[in-house]
Amino acid sequence: MSSTRRLGWASKPGDTEATRLLRASLVGFVADAGQDPALLAGAARLAWAWLDDHHAAPFDVADSALAVAARRDDPKLHARLVAEVRRSTDASERSHTMNALGQFADPALVAATLDLVLSGAINLFEGGGAFVGDAHTGAQRRAIYQAFKAHYDALAALLPPEFAPQLSQVGFVVCDPALRDDIVQFFRDRLSNAPGGPHMLATGVERMDSCLARRRAAQPSIHAFLARY
């Protein structure tokens, strides 16, 4: 971890392209995985600096720092990012900002992010990266599902009828046995008569049940591993 601290978030004179790429991919990972206080604090500093001046870091490094900082669920950072989405007219900048907003897990903050779509500040296609993605944690996926569930009809009304069933993706990626039946029932009621809905429902339930089965199968080996320590 000491070598990653030396690499740090800030660009240094003489950095090669390989060093910059390593910084963008490695420092954020180590900050999150190791919960390293210095790297976490550095991510927050760089995130705020980049929001004030986009020359503070390359976009890929800034994206990593913003994601790490956002995963701390800081309401002030969330409010600033929301303000940036409302202010900016640059599509690339708005995309970067929405991706950062997608890293929050606090249900109230996730709901506030969704309000950007509901209020018309950004459309669902442009802001979708905040709500759909393989990198979301279980907590983030649960919060996103609950926010979409609370406003499903309003969100569906923003889409052509043939696209509305796609909203179910935010539910079927949740791999939580406590929510499984709720998710299935919620989308069964809404997809059964929608264009392409029955197929979307069947494949979504299959995907979720496969994840739950893999999770159950892995539990004995995980418990056995932890029991040794």
User: What are the residue ranges spanned by the domains of the chain?
Assistant: 159-229
pLDDT reading at 22 higher than 70: yes
Q: Where are the alpha helices (DSSP H) in 91-196?
A: 91-101, 107-118, 124-127, 138-150, 152-157, 169-172, 180-191
Question: What's the rounded Cα separation, in Å, for the pair 84 and 196?
Answer: 36
- Residues 112-137: what's their mean pLDDT? 92
The pLDDT-based confidence of 101 (bands split at 50, 70, 90) is: very high
Where is pLDDT greater, at 196 or 8? 196
The pLDDT-based confidence of 133 (bands split at 50, 70, 90) is: confident
Please write the tens of the pLDDT for every residue from 48-83.
Answer: 999 999 888 888 888 899 999 999 999 999 999 999
- Residues 195-212: what's their mean pLDDT? 94
Please compute, for residue 61, the number of CA atoms within 13 A of its CA located in the half-sphere on the CB side. Answer: 27
Question: What's the rounded Cα separation, in Å, for the pair 123 and 103?
Answer: 19
Q: Which of 199, 211, 125, 143 is nearest to 172 (CA)?
A: 211
Q: How many CB atoms lie within 10 A of CB 29?
A: 13
pLDDT at 227: 58
Please write the tens of the pLDDT for every residue from 159-182.
Answer: 998 899 999 999 999 999 999 999
Sign (positive/negative) of CA torsion 210, 211, 212, 215? positive
- pTM for this model (two decimals): 0.86
pLDDT reading at 226 higher than 50: no
